[in-house]
Amino acid sequence: MSGWLTGHYSYRCEPVDYSNHPNTLRMVHACWWYYFSKFTEFMDTIFFVLRKKNEHVSMLHVIHHGCMPMSVWFGVKFTPAGGHSTFFGLVNTFVHIIMYSYYLLAAMGPQYQKYLWWKKYLTSLQMIQFVAIMVHAFQLLFIDCNYPKAFVWWIGMHAVMFYFLFSDFYRQAYQKKQKAKALALAEKALQNGKLNGKQNGYVNGSTHTNGSVISNSTPASNGHATSNGHATANGYSKSRAADYYIKASPDLHYRAMATAEMNIN
C-alpha cells in the first residue's frame, strides 16, 4: 500500500527500486510482512485438521498454501522492494481480509449462518483477483520496462494456475450442486405426482378407486361401477324385482325352449 495507494507507483511499469528512499524501505517492510503472513495462513489448515474438517483440506487448499510461501520468498529475496510485482500482494491482501472476515462469521456459530449468503461471491472475487493480476503482470511482455521478465512469468503463471483451480472449485461447489439439487427436486416432484395419481386418480372429474370408475359422486362397492347414481352391492341392484328377474331369466328361457320343442314334435 505504501507505493500503490500513495500514487508513487505506476500500474503500467514499476521497476525494482534498490535505493534507501523512505518509500522504498516502507515497501521492503511491507513485502516482508506479507511474506510472514503466508505462514500464519497455515493456521486455518491446522484448525481444519484439529476439528476433523478434512473435506475443507482440498487440493486447491493444499496447493494454495503450499506454493505461496515459496513464491513470495523468491520475491522478497531477489526483488526486496518488489516494484511491479507488489500489485499482486496488494490485491491479494484485500481479498484475504474479506475472506477471513467470512471465516470469522462462520466460526461464530449457527446464528450467523444467515449472514453468509455471499460465500460463492467470495470465490468469484478470488477469480477476478487473478484475472487482474494476469493482466497487470503480462502487460510487461508487450512494453519496455526495466523489470525482470522471469518474475513477470512467475507471477503471471501463478495467477493462471490459481484462476483455473478456483474456477474448478466454483463449478464443483456451486454449479454442480445446484444442478444436482434441481434434478433431485424434479425427481421428487415426479414421484409425488405419480403417487398422487395412484391415490387420487382424478381423470376427467371421475375418481378411480381399485380400477373402477365412480360417477355422479356415488361410491362403488366391490369394484363395480355405479349407474345413474345407484350403487351396486355384490353384483345386485337395490331393486328386488330386478334381482328376481335377473335370477329367474335363465330358467324361464330354458322352459320356453322346451315347450317349443314339444309343440314341434
Question: Can you list the alpha helix ranges (DSSP code H) found in the chain?
Answer: 22-40, 42-50, 59-78, 86-107, 119-138, 149-170, 176-199, 240-264
Judged against a pLDDT cut of 50, whether residue 91 lies above it is answered with yes
Confidence (pLDDT) at 58: 78
| 76 shares its domain with 166 | yes
Domain annotation covers residue 121: yes
Q: Which residues are catalytic?
A: 64
Strand order across the 206-209 sheet: 202-203, 206-209, 212-214
The separation between the first and the last C-alpha atoms of the chain, rounded to the nearest angstrom, is 129
Q: Name the average pLDDT for the chain.
A: 76
Written as nine digits, the cell of 39 is 505462514
User: Which stretch of 74-88, 108-122, 178-192, 212-226 has the lowest confidence by average pLDDT?
Assistant: 212-226
Question: Does some domain include residue 12?
Answer: no
Look up the pTM and report it: 0.63
**Is position 137 within any domain?**
yes
120 and 31 co-located in one domain? yes
Residue 8 lies in a domain: no
220 shares its domain with 183: no
Query: Residue 9 domain-assigned?
Result: no
Residue 189 sits in the same domain as residue 225: no
Domain containing 237 equals 214-264
Q: Which residue in the block uniquely carries the three cell numbers 381423470?
A: 203
Do 189 and 223 have their domain in common? no
Question: Do 152 and 187 share a domain, yes or no?
Answer: yes
Q: Are residues 111 and 164 in the same domain?
A: yes
**Predicted confidence (pLDDT) at residue 99 exceeds the cutoff of 70:** yes
Q: Which three cell numbers stand for residue 146?
A: 526495466
When divided into structural domains, the chain yields a total of 2
Single-letter code of the amino acid located at 72: V
- Does residue 150 share a domain with residue 104? yes
Regarding predicted confidence, which is higher, 7 or 241?
7
Q: Could you tell me if 50 and 91 lie in one domain? A: yes
Residue 167 shares a structural domain with residue 245: no
Handedness of CA 196, 199, 201, 202 (dihedral sign): negative
Check residue 233 and report its DSSP letter: B
Say if residue 250 is in the same domain as residue 189. Answer: no
Which residue bears the cell 424434479? 186
pLDDT beyond 90 at 164: yes
Model confidence band, residue 226 (pLDDT cutoffs 50, 70, 90): very low
